[in-house]
Amino acid sequence: MTERDVLALRTDADEETCRRVLQVLARVGDKWTLLVIGTLREGTMRFGELHRAVTGISQRMLTLTLRQLERDGLVGRTVHPSVPPKVEYALTELGRTLLGTALQLAWWAADHIDEIEANRRDYDSALSPAGD
Amino acid sequence: MTERDVLALRTDADEETCRRVLQVLARVGDKWTLLVIGTLREGTMRFGELHRAVTGISQRMLTLTLRQLERDGLVGRTVHPSVPPKVEYALTELGRTLLGTALQLAWWAADHIDEIEANRRDYDSALSPAGD
DNA sequence: CCGCATCCATTTGGATACTG
DNA sequence: CAGTATCCAAATGGATGCGG
């Protein structure tokens, strides 16, 4: 698969494949996915641990995010039939390969965040001439 | 910056930095950003060309996406003061470095999309026992 | 040609209350 | 403890019409 097949999504490319790939990228880029995957990097965690570890996530969104990840086969879910219930989550092999790739992007972001924020300041101050 | 600083967002990490990095990842992961950047890979394009090249994008979203990318310094915008107006867009150096990193993720998605979709089918059929 | 403003439908996500 | 269900607010994004 070539670059243009993956990212271009031109009318004359294989749109079907592009759509499927983009769908995965959208999933990865949503508000909580990378945070949850990144948190599970350290090993198996219980629902409550994850909830405390991922600052700001609601119970609802943690549940939804974990369900998506489980459905995609990126995270495994183990229920221990005890009272009270105990449910553990861990990255699968597939999940670990994604983590590696996602970290590259995170590093890019970390490397360039200062430049990006400087660009934003320039852009904004050029629009609001305040003291010009 | 370590892995945990970038992705973990634990309560005891540098939340401020994490939030800023995540903000960039969210931008990259939104519906149109990678598509536009990927399309500009080939070189300078006019607004109308982009609009035709990125299948399915509305004029409004193309404008908004380009503004964001311009503000972040990922895309440059050149206005030719002619009649009718002619506006050209091109990746900046920063934009090109992002393209390289983003392609890694796109390739990961392309490599694993079949496995992910198979996982989804398994998951869904395990939930709806239909003929079980 | 480029793109902004308005209106509106859909989606997303948080707060809360409730169940096994 | 680990979810599910409901309600509601905010963000997202398309369609359309206007303006430089």
Higher-pLDDT residue of B47 and B19 is B47
Per-residue pLDDT of A41-52, as tens digits, reads 989 999 999 999
Residue of chain A nearest B98, judged by CA positions: A108
- Judge whether residue B9 has pLDDT over 50: no
Instruction: Tell whether A7 is covered by a domain.
Output: yes
Cβ–Cβ contacts within 10 Å for residue B102, how many?
A: 22
Instruction: Give the count of domains, chain B.
Output: 1
Residue type, A63: T
pLDDT at residue A130, rounded to an integer:
58
| Chain D footprint positions (protein CB, under 7 Å) | 1-6, 12-17, 20
pLDDT at A6: 55
Assessment of whether the complete model's pTM goes beyond 0.85: yes
Mean pLDDT for chain A? 86
Q: Kindly state whether residue A80 falls inside one of the protein's structural domains.
A: yes
Decide if B121 is inside a domain: no
User: B69 is in which domain, residue-wise?
Assistant: 3-97
Whether residue B16 is contained in a domain is answered as yes
Q: What is the pLDDT of residue A26?
A: 86
For B89-97, which contacts have Cβ atoms below 8 Å and span 24 or more sequence positions?
B89/B40, B89/B44, B89/B45, B89/B46, B89/B47, B89/B50, B90/B40, B90/B43, B90/B44, B90/B45, B91/B37, B91/B40, B91/B41, B94/A112, B94/A115, B94/A116, B94/A119, B95/B37, B95/B40, B95/B69, B97/A108, B97/A112
Instruction: Summarize the confidence of residues B15-22 as an average pLDDT.
Output: 74
CA B58 / C1′ D16 distance in Å: 12
In angstroms, the CA of A126 and the C1' of D18 are apart by 26
- Please indicate, yes or no, if residue B112 is contained in any of the structural domains: no
The spacing between the Cα labelled CA in A21 and the C1' in C1, in angstroms, equals 33
CATH number at residue A36: 1.10.10.10
A115 or A127: which leads in pLDDT: A115
CA distance B18 to chain A (A): 9
Q: In chain A, pLDDT over 90 holds for what percent of residues?
A: 58
- B64 lies in some domain: yes
Is residue A123 situated within a structural domain? no
Predicted confidence at residue A2, as pLDDT, reads 54
Q: What is the pLDDT of residues B70-116, one digit of tens each?
A: 999 999 999 999 999 999 999 999 999 999 998 888 889 989 999 99
The reply to whether B31 falls in a domain is yes
- For residue B131, pLDDT beyond 70: no
* Strand C nucleotides within 7 Å of a protein CB: 1-6, 12-17, 20
CB contact under 8 A, A28 and B109: yes
